[in-house]
Amino acid sequence: MAAEALPRLGEVSPVVRLVRRLVPYVGYTLLITAALSQIVPFVLTVANSFKCLPAVSAAPIAFLPTPPFFVECQADGVTRSASETTSGITFNPALEGYQSVFEANLGRWLFNTAFIALAIMLLRLLFDSLAGYALARIRFPGNRIIFTIILGTMMIPGVVLLIPRFIILKQLGMLNAYSGIIIPLMADAFGIFLMKQFFESIPNEIEEAGQVDGANRFIMFFRIILPMATPALTALAIFSFQGAWNNFLDVLIVLGGNQDLWTLPLGLSFLRGGSGRTLIWNEFLAGSVITTLPMAIIFFAFQRYFVEGVNYSGLAGQ
């Protein structure tokens, strides 16, 4: 077969060969164009968050910061025009947007977001791994039914839960309180599934050895099993933190009524022009940068786990 096919490869016409030669160039062009379309909006967002307001509208494409740094946007009570702070693709950075967004209470939103996201993340690490371990390793009556039910909950669309969850939280007196957002989200089906998959891959002998030593199941779990699960726990931590950090719908319904508990996405959506506010571009671009920055840092530090987590979710779907 191979001997028959090989000469055929040699017979390829010059046109086909030329096309083959060109494929990488076309491929690179397409990929670089696509990559630019993904990066440029973020670069421009960062650049414009550091501009004075008139410059944001008049010269949005200026992206190179040049000295003098941190110019004042008001000079003698008059707002400086765009041409005074930009030229061509360069601009003089200013902190107007950041000052204005912190005046709008961004510090508080940042604290709330971090607190809620950390709480949800830590509780999920605990409860999801406990449940995942039970499903993977402990035989008990109802084991399979419970697993089916948990998988089934993954199919319930979040929007369907919007109204009844609001009703239940209202009945429990948990609306407009940290507990109302943290408690319902402190365990999730995806996390349980992820941990179950991981624990199934650990060799049985380790627990058998533990049992011979007479260790209690809980002690064994926390001392021996959980430390082995660091990679899976890291992926789960990242996904939980990201989901909670960026959550909008639940936060809107549960915390919308109490300004002191607003998170970054909720606060930003308010800057967008709710309650008669006008759009101040550099202000909400600055808010967007601050909201994205912690996630970006985590992403670059733990990239591998993001990709792994996506692959796990692919597994869950099959």
Partner 1 sequence: MAGMAFISPAFIILFVFLIVPMIAALYFSLTNWNGVTPLTRSDAYEFVGLENYQRLLLQSGTRQEAFFTSLKNTVYFVLGVVPVQTLLAMSLAVLVNQRWLKGKGFFRTTFYFPSISSSVVISLIFMWMFNSDGIVNQGIRSIFPAYQSVTWLSDSNGILHNLLGLFGVTRDSLGEFGRTEIASISIWDWLSGPSVTMLTIMILNTWTTIGTLMVVFLAALQNIPAQVYEAAYVDGATTMQIFRKITVPLLRPTTFFVVTLGLIGTFQVFDQIYVISSGGPADTTLTIAYLVYRSGFKDQRMGIAAATAIVLFLIIFVFTLIQRRITGGDRAA
State which of positions 255-314 bind partner 1 (CB under 8 A).
264-266, 268-269, 271-272, 279, 281, 284-285, 287-288, 291-292, 295-296, 298-299, 303, 306-307, 310-311, 313-314
Number of residues that bind partner 1 (CB under 8 A): 102
Nearer to partner 1, 102 or 281 (CB): 281
Site map 67..106 versus partner 1, x via CB under 8 A:
----------------------------------------
The correct pick among 148, 218, 276, 278 for binding partner 1 (CB under 8 A) is 218
Among residue numbers 106 through 135, which ones bind partner 1 (CB under 8 A)?
A: 127-128, 130-131, 133-135
Q: Closest approach of Cβ 291 to partner 1, in Å?
A: 5
Which structure tokens are listed for 241?
A: 């933190």
Residue 41 engages partner 1 in binding (rule: CB under 8 A): yes
Strand partners, 71: 94
x/- map, 159-188, partner 1, by CB under 8 A: xxxxxxxxxx--x-----------xx-xxx
Min CB(5)–partner 1 separation in Å = 4
Indicate whether 156 belongs to the interface with partner 1 (CB under 8 A): yes
For partner 1, the closer CB: 65 or 294:
294
Binding partner 1 (rule: CB under 8 A), the pick from 217, 224, 228, 234 is 217
- 246-277: burial string, b at 16+ Cβ within 10 Å, e else: bbeebbbbbbeeeeebbbbbbbbbbbeeeeee
For partner 1, the closer CB: 209 or 301: 301
Give the nearer residue to partner 1 in terms of CB position, either 73 or 134: 134
Is residue 24 a contact point for partner 1 (CB under 8 A)?
yes
CB of 77: closest distance to partner 1 in angstroms? 26
Cβ proximity to partner 1: between 98 and 221 the closer is 221
Closer to partner 1 by CB, 114 or 295: give it.
295
Query: Which tokens in the block code for residue 247?
Result: 């959550």
Residue 150 contacts partner 1 per CB under 8 A:
yes
Nearer to partner 1, 72 or 87 (CB): 87
Residue among 87, 249, 260, 277 that touches partner 1 (CB under 8 A) = 249
User: Can you give the chain as a three-state secondary structure string?
Assistant: CHHHHHHHHHCCCHHHHHHHHHHHHHHHHHHHHHHHHHHHHHHHHHHHHCCCHHHHHHCCCCCEECCCCCECCEECCEECCHHHHEECCEECCECHHHHHHHHCCHHHHHHHHHHHHHHHHHHHHHHHHHHHHHHHHCCCCCHHHHHHHHHHHCCCCHHHHHHHHHHHHHHCCCCCCHHHHHHHHCCCHHHHHHHHHHHHCCCCHHHHHHHHCCCCHHHHHHHHHHHHCHHHHHHHHHHHHHHHHHCCHHHHHHHCCCHHHCCHHHHHHHHCCHHHCCCCHHHHHHHHHHHHHHHHHHHHHCHHHHHHHHHHHHHHCC
Give 164 or 214: the residue with its C-beta nearer to partner 1.
164
Q: Which of 37, 148, 204, 275 binds partner 1 (CB under 8 A)?
A: 37
The two three-digit tokens of residue 249, written as one number: 């719908």
Q: ω into residue 68 within 30 of 0, thus cis?
A: yes
Residue in 103, 99, 54, 115 with CA at minimum distance from that of residue 80: 54
Given candidates 91, 245, 262, 305, which one binds partner 1 under the rule CB under 8 A? 245
